[in-house]
Amino acid sequence: MHPTRTDDEDRMACDFIDHFASVSGSYARFRPTYPSALFAWLESVAPTRQRAWDCATGTGQCALALAERFETVLATDASASQLALAEPHPRVRYRLATAEHSGLLAHSMDLVTVAQALHWFDRDRFYREVERVLRPGGVLAAWTYGLARVEAAGIDAILRHFYGEIVGPYWPPEKVLVDNDYRDITLPCEALATPAFAMETFWNLEQLLGYCASWSATARYVAATGSDPLEWIRPAMQRAWGERERQYRLRWPLTLKACRRSPG
């Protein structure tokens, strides 16, 4: 079933800018996977395992992991192109909606998650929606990650040049919040102490380049210039990489913030 949107949601979405519409395919294929330990921790702090809201779910990566631990996951996104590529799951219900106007029932959620998206929101309005949707004692958790570190120094240097110099001018202004590890973001309720988590994977060259193609800055570069910025680094990457199918380890430390709504 394709997600639908009400007239009210259409009005609320008028200010939404879809930074990933043109790269949704790459986003679905090449984004790294969050560690299972993160979801075990989220399960442990939620008051029950009945309902979780994954806000700005994208192609459903976080929602699918939550569905292994929660009875029902409501997964919303304002991007129809992202939701069109989301993988179905019997415990996940996808819905086209903005973060600030979810359409979910009041006091119905044990957990609200925001994976790599809080910096895009009107946070004051979103926090009011979280206050409305979370049940007493429910938890809001948001996390972000910056540029991966590659174990091969030469490849890592090329990647950082691409990130900062080639597509750097095309990052939306909200990206500074990610680069600052969400230090300038405050959650609206009592803060929880959070463990340290990181994503790790082994990728070949085409997987790394596919990941770079999924960035919002890459999409904005293509839209502005009509050319593919990856062509600036592909030859150097191929020389530094060696065998085409060789894999290198990549690591993304996560910055996780979480808070609990008052039980009263």
What's the CA gap between 233 and 158, in Å, rounded?
Answer: 7
Residue 2 placed within a domain: no
Q: Is 129 exposed, middle or buried (0-12, 13-18, 19+ CB in 10 A)?
A: buried
Structure tokens at 106: 């009041």
Q: What is the CATH number of the domain that holds 101?
A: 3.40.50.150
Q: What is the pLDDT of residues 57-83, one digit of tens each?
A: 999 999 999 999 999 999 999 999 999
Q: What is the pLDDT of residues 160-205, one digit of tens each?
A: 999 999 999 999 999 999 999 999 999 999 999 999 999 999 999 9
Residue 1 placed within a domain: no
Structure tokens at 126: 């979103």
Domain count, the chain: 1
The angle formed by the CA atoms of residues 148, 150 and 152, to the nearest 5 degrees, is: 165
Structure tokens at 167: 């597509």
Q: What is the pLDDT of residues 6-18, one digit of tens each?
A: 444 444 444 545 5
φ and ψ at residue 256, rounded to 5 degrees: -115, 130
Looking at residue 225, its pLDDT comes to 97
Structural domain of 162: 7-260
Average pLDDT for residues 142-162, to the nearest whole number? 97
Q: pTM (2 decimals)?
A: 0.87
The answer to whether the beta carbons of residues 65 and 39 sit under 8 Å apart is yes
The answer to whether the beta carbons of residues 92 and 114 sit under 8 Å apart is no
Looking at residue 27, its pLDDT comes to 47
